[in-house]
Structure 1
């Protein structure tokens, strides 16, 4: 009888039950943020690929990050917007597994792309004479493939462990198939899955941020020898945008996936997830367009060229 109940669960229900009936306002807000995120990331990718002045490893990684963030939001936000309008929206187990698979791949990929960008800044500032040799097209391609490959391994591990569980519940009180909300619907002990989740999350968060920390310690040690205030300012300007994105990205990720279960609540989890999956991807185009002079100059050149 117990096995029979397990096989009956063929789909989940996604939704925003905590928002109650007032879902038009969040729909408009999230749709606006989503459009701005797509537009910003697409503009960044387009400028980098059109303007030859931006054909450098730093902007290659930025275009890869913007592309990854764009696909990441495509995987999550359209279904979320739909669930705000159509209540109790069903999703099959196969679609839920697919969504979780791509979310884990892209989230992990973003973390390691930020690490690659940190390595690029380290090489540019600390080893400028060898920079063009070491940061070749082949090396950049290897770093991007390594980031995606790591995400692929983590996604296979997560999804395989998760969807071998028997499920009794059907209502996922979340706007996408995230790990903990789906895990709560299992009928059996999930200790192994929790260990896997914590291990994977710790690896994906602490390894990249540890490497970034080491890169910036070396960068700071190197710039301490720079006597010119202008050189200090230029060095800081090249790193400020990356550091801003890193702090917000890893701060939200750490709170979302490494907090103790005793501190979890539906409202807090939804707020953190909205910040991490919707607000943070918008940060990338905003920071790199408003704070980065080279990107703004590239946009000006592209627009001027098209107008002329």
Structure 2
């Protein structure tokens, strides 16, 4: 393809959200509060899992890895959102733009794989309890967690590199961060082939992992229904409810934006839906995994009592 006759843009402009007057500071402060609470909540889970021996299980190890991912994930896009809310449309260099695109999609695909690993963990714990600790030993946990990051960051190279090689004649990005669909709308050339490749790569990452999660939870459902008492069934389901809630939030928004064709959504819809998986889901994850979890509440009590003893001894 000959790109010699095209004008290449030197700077992209992130349009963000059109907020004016009193709405702009309110939107900025609200987003900033959610961002800070998201950072605090996910840091709290990581520290709690690392410091309390009662949470030294595979399930909580993977939850802490998810929290680490969410810290990076939310910090990839929210600072640019805050800047556009505060200052209006903001310039961003192509290098930073494509780096943001790559990191954002790397983390998104990593989360897809991590959520399926967490479903596998619950499947082994419920369906193979006698062999669970030997199958999910520390070495296996580290290998599984590490592989999700390697695969996620490798798979994201395809859509990011293809988008970065496009010639861009326009520079107004109708989004608050650099994402695939808004960037492809700015290209000088037809992007249908690129859209098909992006859909295939992201579709495989989301679709295959989602199917795997459904299969694993199907196995869990069959095993749980065989349990002798209703109390046993309720206890088994309670260990999965938080994960199922997170999966539903993440995949519903991801499928809406990335698996559908780029032209099927009204302009501007993608950035509204992006708020769900890029800001709301990382914010809700710590709440979902703590407020509905008796073991986490007990760990918080143990840490609090330990801190009281330390303060009493030092006073």
Give the TM-score band, short-chain normalised.
over 0.9
User: In the alignment, is the contact (CA less than 8 A) between 2:174 and 2:268 conserved in 1?
Assistant: no
Q: How does 1:94-113 map to 2 (within 5 A)?
A: 94-113=95-114
Distance 1:96 1:180 in 2: 13
Quote the residue 1:19 is aligned against.
Answer: 19
Distance 2:211 2:55 in 1: 28
SS state of the match for residue 18, structure 1? Answer: coil
Quote the residue 1:216 is aligned against.
Answer: 217
Moved over 6 A (4+): none
Shift of 1:5: 4.7
User: In the alignment, is the contact (CA less than 8 A) between 1:65 and 1:110 conserved in 2?
Assistant: yes
User: In the alignment, is the contact (CA less than 8 A) between 1:47 and 1:299 conserved in 2?
Assistant: yes
Shift of 1:37: 0.8
Does 2:306 match 1:305? yes
Shift of 1:19: 3.2
Shift of 1:20: 4.6
Distance 1:266 1:80 in 2: 18
Quote the residue 2:145 is aligned against.
Answer: 144
Does 2:83 match 1:82? yes
Gaps of 5+ in 2: 310-315
User: In the alignment, is the contact (CA less than 8 A) between 1:58 and 1:117 conserved in 2?
Assistant: yes
Q: TM-score, normalised by structure 1?
A: 0.96
Distance 2:287 2:245 in 1: 11
Does 2:25 match 1:47? no
User: In the alignment, is the contact (CA less than 8 A) between 1:15 and 1:84 conserved in 2?
Assistant: no
Q: What is the RMSD of the two structures over their aligned residues, measured on CA atoms?
A: 1.6
Higher mean Cα deviation, 82-91 or 285-294? 82-91
Quote the residue 2:312 is aligned against.
Answer: none
Does 2:256 match 1:229? no
Quote the residue 2:244 is aligned against.
Answer: 243
Report the CA distance shift for 1:213/1:252 in structure 2 as closer, same or farther (over 3 A).
Answer: same
Does 2:201 match 1:195? no
Distance 1:176 1:157 in 2: 19
SS state of the match for residue 13, structure 2? Answer: strand
Report the CA distance shift for 1:91/1:4 in structure 2 as closer, same or farther (over 3 A).
Answer: farther
Shift of 1:210: 0.6
Quote the residue 1:32 is aligned against.
Answer: 33
Distance 2:6 2:190 in 1: 16
Q: Deviations over 1:227-285 (max 9, x none)?
A: 11221111011011111111111111111212333432233222101112110111210
Distance 1:132 1:17 in 2: 49
User: In the alignment, is the contact (CA less than 8 A) between 1:202 and 1:258 conserved in 2?
Assistant: yes
Quote the residue 1:267 is aligned against.
Answer: 268
User: In the alignment, is the contact (CA less than 8 A) between 1:124 and 1:131 conserved in 2?
Assistant: yes
Report the CA distance shift for 1:81/1:232 in structure 2 as closer, same or farther (over 3 A).
Answer: same
Report the CA distance shift for 1:31/1:266 in structure 2 as closer, same or farther (over 3 A).
Answer: farther
Gaps of 5+ in 1: none
Report the CA distance shift for 1:263/1:126 in structure 2 as closer, same or farther (over 3 A).
Answer: same
